Structure 1
Amino acid sequence: MTTTTTRKSRAGGVPTPARRRSDATANRAALLSAARTLLALDPHASLDAIAHGAGLSRRAVYGHFPDRESLLREVITLGAVRFNEIAEATDDPDPRVALARMAVRLWREADAVRAAANIALDDVHMDITVRALLPLRRRVRAITAAGVASGMFRQDVDAKLLAVLVEQAARATLRELRLSTADAAAIVARMVLSVVGLSWREQHELFAAHPEIIAED
């Protein structure tokens, strides 16, 4: 009897526990994927829109997230993990190259990161974003400190304050510009390099010497 029942379940009757777990995992992944895609375009995308994008009902969403806010926090967390990984993996003995390369790599990330960046533009989520991005912020501070100490970055601003200015400039760029042009990566790199004091001529020379900064995929 038990064997027969089990076989029926596996053949298409009542889903087995393993199948239910697999479906739940797939649905959660679909929700997060839809959230990343929609929030990358519109940080105010509704829960209904996200559910629809995932091919699920609004009721199904509540089986994974109690409300929209908890879903947003998960997207922020996942995006921050990727941000931090990129920051910690980006290194170069030349702080100008390290900073520009990091900016380009972050910009070129997939929707998971861009969605988190869009949500971060909302001051309501600033606290959780700041906490989640501590490794990235430490890396930016280290690069700016190295740049100031080496004389490659501007000398009229304290290194810690300069790191804050870089962060704020990046945030302002995300807020004001939805860059989608072919040269968006170069624009982002030029923005951070301008903040740390490089002239347009110095930037041109840097890119000529290191074309991989904006050419890398």
Structure 2
Amino acid sequence: MPYRVVKVKEAAANRSSQPQARQRRQRADAAQNVSAILQAATEVLSTQPEASVEDIARAAGLSRQTVYAHFPSREALLNAVADRATAEAVAVFEAAGLDEAPPAQALIRLLNAGWTVSARYPFLWHLPAVSTDEDVDRHGPVLERLLGVIRRGQESGDFDRTLSPGWLLAAGLAIGRTAEEEVKAGRMTIEDATHAAHHSILRLIGVHDPAPR
């Protein structure tokens, strides 16, 4: 093949690869920006629950326009942070070895892990109230694991079988919502509400609390 033809083909290949390389850089930059925004939101909102998008953008070292390019509203950003917390909780559950532990111990591990993650996102206790369906969607992966532990405990005879797993799950979710409402109303601290919800869920399912207050 003539040298000139080879060079022309190489030049054409380089031109075609440039847009792809640019797109990869743009995707990498976008992912980095999203990570920085979510981290900044977590840190800022933990001390300033009413912080604005501009406050979060400043903490992330980005413009407000960049934040809005990824999250069209403050609500969308808060939902993304809530999703991040849920994903973190699921990762903690996976590391807790729930399937290997006896049902009662698995339930205690699950609750403890959930409260540990919740403590890293205190502003989530102050998010605007949502419908039950939205709450279930938001905590879906967590609730699935709780339901699995309840079913396993009932099948093994460790948990009371009088009430269905679905009912116990719904009641547990209601306890969590009540704890949030008490915190929002200023009647309980996050620590007290966490303890009350933890103890109530264990009592509901019929598990002895190994460390009552």
- TM class by shorter-chain length? 0.5 to 0.7
Note closer, same or farther for the CA distance 1:74–1:175 as it changes in structure 2 (3 Å cut): same
Q: Which residue of 1 aligns with 2:110?
A: 102
Residues 2-57 of structure 1 show CA distances to partners (whole Å, capped at 9, x for unaligned) of xxxxxxxxxxxxxxx68877665443322111212234456543222322332333
Q: Distance in 2 between matches of 1:191 and 1:42?
A: 30
Say yes or no: does 1:192 pair with 2:201: yes
TM-score (norm 2): 0.65
Q: Distance in 1 between matches of 2:47 and 2:141?
A: 26
Q: Which moved more, 1:33-42 or 1:90-99?
A: 33-42
Q: Distance in 2 between matches of 1:21 and 1:150?
A: 49
Q: Tell me the secondary structure at the aligned position of residue 109 of structure 1.
A: helix
Note closer, same or farther for the CA distance 1:166–1:114 as it changes in structure 2 (3 Å cut): same
Q: Which moved more, 1:81-90 or 1:96-105?
A: 81-90
Q: Which residue of 2 aligns with 1:31?
A: 37
Note closer, same or farther for the CA distance 1:157–1:143 as it changes in structure 2 (3 Å cut): same
Question: Shift in Å at residue 169 of structure 1?
Answer: 1.5
Residues 130-152 of structure 1 show CA distances to partners (whole Å, capped at 9, x for unaligned) of 23533322221121122233443
Q: Which residue of 2 aligns with 1:135?
A: 141
Amino acid of the structure 1 residue aligned with 2:145 = R
Amino acid of the structure 1 residue aligned with 2:60 = A
Question: Shift in Å at residue 165 of structure 1?
Answer: 1.3
Amino acid of the structure 1 residue aligned with 2:130 = D
Q: Distance in 2 between matches of 1:152 and 1:144?
A: 9
Q: Which residue of 2 aligns with 1:65?
A: 71
RMSD value, Cα: 3.7
Q: Distance in 1 between matches of 2:55 and 2:95?
A: 35
Q: Which has the larger radius of gyration?
A: 2
Matches within 5 A, 1:132-211: 132-177=138-183, 178-180=189-191, 189-198=198-207, 202-204=208-210
8 A Cα contact 2:53 2:74, kept in partner: yes
Question: Shift in Å at residue 186 of structure 1?
Answer: 6.3
8 A Cα contact 1:31 1:50, kept in partner: yes
Q: Distance in 2 between matches of 1:23 and 1:111?
A: 30
Task: Give aligned pairs, total.
Answer: 184
Q: Which residue of 2 aligns with 1:53?
A: 59
Unpaired stretches in structure 1, ≥5 consecutive residues: 1-16, 209-217
Note closer, same or farther for the CA distance 1:112–1:150 as it changes in structure 2 (3 Å cut): same
Q: Which residue of 2 aligns with 1:122?
A: 129
Amino acid of the structure 1 residue aligned with 2:65 = R
Amino acid of the structure 1 residue aligned with 2:190 = L
Note closer, same or farther for the CA distance 1:42–1:147 as it changes in structure 2 (3 Å cut): farther
Question: Shift in Å at residue 162 of structure 1?
Answer: 1.0
Residues 75-96 of structure 1 show CA distances to partners (whole Å, capped at 9, x for unaligned) of 2332222233334554144211
Question: Shift in Å at residue 58 of structure 1?
Answer: 2.2
The alignment-based identity, stated in percent, is 28
8 A Cα contact 1:162 1:196, kept in partner: yes
Q: Distance in 2 between matches of 1:42 and 1:99?
A: 33
Unpaired stretches in structure 2, ≥5 consecutive residues: 1-21, 184-188
Question: Shift in Å at residue 98 of structure 1?
Answer: 0.8
Note closer, same or farther for the CA distance 1:63–1:160 as it changes in structure 2 (3 Å cut): closer
